[in-house]
Amino acid sequence: MNQFDSSFWRVAHGREIELNKRAVIMAIVNVTPDSFSDGGLYDTVDRAVEHALQAVADGAEILDIGGESTRPDAASVSPAEEQARVLPVIEALSRRTEALISIDTYRAEAARRAINAGAHIVNDVFGLQKEPEIAALSAETGAGLCIMHTGRDRQKLADIIEDQVFFLERSLEIASAAGVLRDRIVLDPGFGFAKETPGENLELMVRFEELHRFGLPLLAGTSRKRFLGAVTGREPAERDAATAATSALLRLQGAAVFRVHNVAINRDALAVADAMLAARNDASKARHDPWDPNAAL
């Protein structure tokens, strides 16, 4: 499959979303006091819901709700606290928007309760390898899965793509064994998650197209990450322009979904990238259409 051929991500509650032919934005909604760039800004139900609805107005089609920070030095929270943060937000959003709702969790019980509350997708930053029960939950409920690569808590392989393949093939084996269909899955290479240096993240960007070997849609999650701070010298909240640049570059390499903090600036950058892809496709057709009198000879 060509990385720009249309496909459908099928998710819980009988929903689906078209991917690949156009960029799809997943908005980050952190219901946390300590996330690295927006901790405490949306840590009440009302503020989180308002922020999420504004993200939809700005162009987001998926809302990713998280109740525990995943920054490297963040303190873990109890399952009860995580659920207390996210479930009321998911319940409120399921009544107020048609946008797809994703739960950002690696805990199967939180995922189950989130789906029952109206979530459509489980975004697992441990790629099903911390609580494999999430795969069985997806098979049972039809929930979409975002399976992320991480290098945390293990020894990585030296080559960055070989390590992606090593980890994600194991995740896909877990999904397959549980009966998860491939049209439920999107893969995330996990920018910033135990990619120890800015150079490692940049190499992952340069070699991003190699990940199409899996034949599955890819998600790019570079938003405000530390490597962008190293490149630009800017603090997390000032990295939206750099994020938009990476979104456009990765879109040209076939990324389908973009998980971002600032929806509006990424929407515009991705609109330009999509326009370039459309123009490239039109030019390619013109060059190869023998019946087009305007085609290049």
First to last CA, the chain: 29
Contact 251, 270 (CB under 8 A): yes
Q: Where are the beta strands (DSSP E) in 51-184?
A: 62-66, 100-104, 121-124, 144-148
d(CA 252, CA 235): 26
Contact 196, 163 (CB under 8 A): no
d(CA 146, CA 127): 8
Which residues, other chains included, contact 281 with Cβ-Cβ below 8 Å and sequence gap of 6+? 4
d(CA 110, CA 251): 31
The one-letter amino acid at 29: V
Residue whose token pair is 């996990």: 190
DSSP readout, 164-211? HHHHHHHHHHHHHHHT--GGGEEEE--TTSS--SHHHHHHHHHTGGGG
| Residues with catalytic function | 225, 259
d(CA 127, CA 149): 6
Per DSSP, what are the bridge partners of residue 145? 122, 185
